[in-house]
Amino acid sequence: MKFQRVGHQPGDLFDAMSHHFNSKGFNMKFSIKRKDIRAMLHLAAKKDIRYYLQGINVVRDNRGTYIEATDGHVLGRLLIDGIRSDTKQNVVLPTEALSKLKGTKKQGDEWLSFSVEGFAVECIDSQSTTRFSAHDARFPDTDRVIPMVFKDEDVKPATFNPDLLVRFVDVSEELYGKRQIPMVLQRGSQSSIVSFPQMDDAFIGVIMPTREFAPARVPAWCYIPSVKPVEATETA
């Protein structure tokens, strides 16, 4: 489905993001299921000059270890374990390498063990060892665009490209084995939350709305016309 856009173009998450960057990289060990890689690759950038978006960012901080991917219009974050770090660490695993490791849907529950030293990555599965280089640790600060609190006054009309929402349905099929109906919390001109609360709380998505074309309204023809009650007449 294609849209003819009038005026503003759809928002880009990078309008509001700064970047993490560590020139030396980090030393990390973690494990990711193949299906989680398959899911997040649906949201990673493809053929983008911002090379660091062509991959999955693995983050460990005081909340746990999670993976995230974005192309600037959609964002996904998935908690993969509860191991925490007081110092925020991250490594960006490139799409080119992950595409060879994601396996098939039948292999979805298999774990891949990663060991990272600086930007050197080693991945071990049940049959082989794969080595490759990570992107430098540059990645958007995604906390800045994930709404943490919703209030009644935040609920406003929102418009966004439904093709972007379908990508989250593709994510759900990888994560949960079948396509799920996403729940969307809309925030008007700000980013909206996408989740699958009927399944679990491990995944959270963000979708950027298309900026408003015109004030939201209910078409006039939908209103029931005001009809003056007919007064009863006395009969002789």
Residues 33-49: tens digit of each pLDDT: 999 999 999 999 998 88
Contact status, residue 25 vs residue 137, Cβ threshold 8 Å? yes
Contact status, residue 206 vs residue 13, Cβ threshold 8 Å? yes
pLDDT at 218 over 80: no
Select the more confidently predicted residue: 3 or 220.
Answer: 220
Q: Where are the domains of the chain?
A: 13-143, 144-215
Whole-structure pTM value: 0.77
Q: For position 217, what pLDDT does the model report?
A: 63
Helices 34-41 and 162-176, packing angle to 10 deg: 170
Confidence of residue 132 (pLDDT cuts 50, 70, 90): very high
The CATH number of 13-143 is which of 3.40.630.20, 3.10.150.10, 1.10.10.410, 3.40.50.300?
3.10.150.10
Q: For position 1, what pLDDT does the model report?
A: 27
pLDDT at 50 over 60: yes
Q: For position 31, what pLDDT does the model report?
A: 97
Residue ranges in 42-197 assigned as alpha helix (H):
95-98, 162-176
Q: Of 13-27, 51-65, 88-102, which gets the smallest average pLDDT? A: 13-27
Q: For position 234, what pLDDT does the model report?
A: 53
Confidence of residue 185 (pLDDT cuts 50, 70, 90): confident
Q: For position 2, what pLDDT does the model report?
A: 30
Sign of CA dihedral 146, 151, 157, 162: positive
Contact status, residue 78 vs residue 69, Cβ threshold 8 Å? no
CA 168, CA 194: separation in Å to the nearest integer? 8
pLDDT at 81 over 80: yes
CA 120, CA 50: separation in Å to the nearest integer? 21
Sheet harboring 89-94: ordered strands across? 89-94, 55-61, 64-70, 74-81, 203-207, 190-195, 183-187
Confidence of residue 106 (pLDDT cuts 50, 70, 90): confident
How would DSSP label each residue in 135-175? BPS-EE-GGGTS-----GGG-------HHHHHHHHHHHHHH
Residues 59-69: tens digit of each pLDDT: 999 999 999 99
